[in-house]
Amino acid sequence: MTMNLLMPALTLQFPPTTTFPYFPYLPRAYSHVLLTCPCLLLSPLLPPPPPQFQPLLRSNHRRCSAMSIGDSLPLHPPLLDTLPFELKDDADFDQIVSPDGLVSICGFGSLLSEKSARSTFPDLINFRVAKLSGFRRVFAHVAPIFFERGIAKPETKEISSLSVEPCEGESLVVTTFEIQRSEIPSFIEREHEFRFLAVIPETFNGLFYATPSVLCARYSDEEYFLNRCKGSEDIFFQRYRRFGINQIWLDDVLPCRVYLRHCVLAAKNLCELAYDNFLDHTFLGDRKTTIREYLATTGSGIMEEEPPEELKYRYGG
């Protein structure tokens, strides 16, 4: 007897001796899944990785050691056609809650670090590496938290945090993990300036996860003021204007130095694939200069700078 795993235009035949790992803690209806740890990516039983990832996977570089296990089953095209979609308020998150009451979060900057992720979400589970297609990272918005912590440099415009935006042909190495549905209100409060999108990450052998993850994407100043601030100048003042910030989303700002170093270290500590992807698929606000180019020119020296003593753990990668 054989087991068939149906995929679009493909049927994989598994011999009777094939075993599938069971992960009772996984937050999905599907807990019998094919193991997709990167060390198995070149197995003949699995679809090959995308061409852009094959050279690194065949190299001697350190591979991603975080396990890409999860509810990675083929996704039906009708569901893919509806994604990404926006989660406009707390109630919208109910659309993507698992039967276990969990919500998946997609990390692309500081959340590439499990240590950093756990400092924000202490009870997260199933931290793993994934791929997200159709988005790029951009340093193009002002973050008030950098002013609060004394690491913003408005005199040089080094005040920007990181978001993602749709971009055809781009692919990001990301992380994904699960948190309790009850944590979403504080998540929204903490990531107040973002547009929340439901997206479907992939494993590195081309399988889509069965349930969407939340992605913090680029918003607009107009939408932010109307939707997050409810048109209230008082709310906007408390969050931004008291720091001298009159516009959030800008294309002529530069990364906060401490935060950029933190994100680069987070990617480097995750794996070589994530590190190279971050350097080459993360852009300044001009959408032309990559972080690799920036660190080699104008931003040289950033990686050698230590954070303030009280922030060394928080921004240590």
101-121 pLDDT per residue, tens: 999 999 999 999 999 999 999
pLDDT of residue 230: 94
Distance CA 121, CA 178 (A): 9
3-state secondary structure of 126: strand
Sign of CA dihedral 222, 134, 26, 119: negative
Distance CA 10, CA 46 (A): 11
Query: Is 12 inside any structural domain?
Result: no
Cα–Cα distance, 201 to 215 (Å, whole number)? 10
Q: Is 266 domain-assigned?
A: yes
pTM, two decimals, is 0.77
Q: Read off the DSSP letter of residue 25.
A: T
Q: Does 32 score more than 50 pLDDT?
A: no
Cα radius of gyration rounded to whole Å, the chain:
20
**86: CATH:** 3.10.490.10
**Residue at 11 is within a domain:** no
Asked, for residue 230, whether it belongs to a domain, the answer is yes
* Residue 8 belongs to some domain of the structure: no
Q: How far is CA 200 from CA 245, 279, 311, in A?
A: 33, 23, 33
Rounded Cα distance, 136 and 27, in Å: 27
pLDDT at 79 over 60: no
Within a domain: residue 272?
yes
Q: Which domain holds residue 145?
A: 20-311
Out of 79-93, 150-164, 220-234, 264-278, pick the least confident. 79-93
Residue 153 confidence (pLDDT) above 60: yes
Indicate the number of domains in the chain. Answer: 1
CA distance 46 to 127: 22
**How far is residue 295's CA from residue 235's CA, in Å, rounded to a whole number?**
36
45 in a structural domain = yes
- The answer to whether residue 88 sits within a structural domain is yes
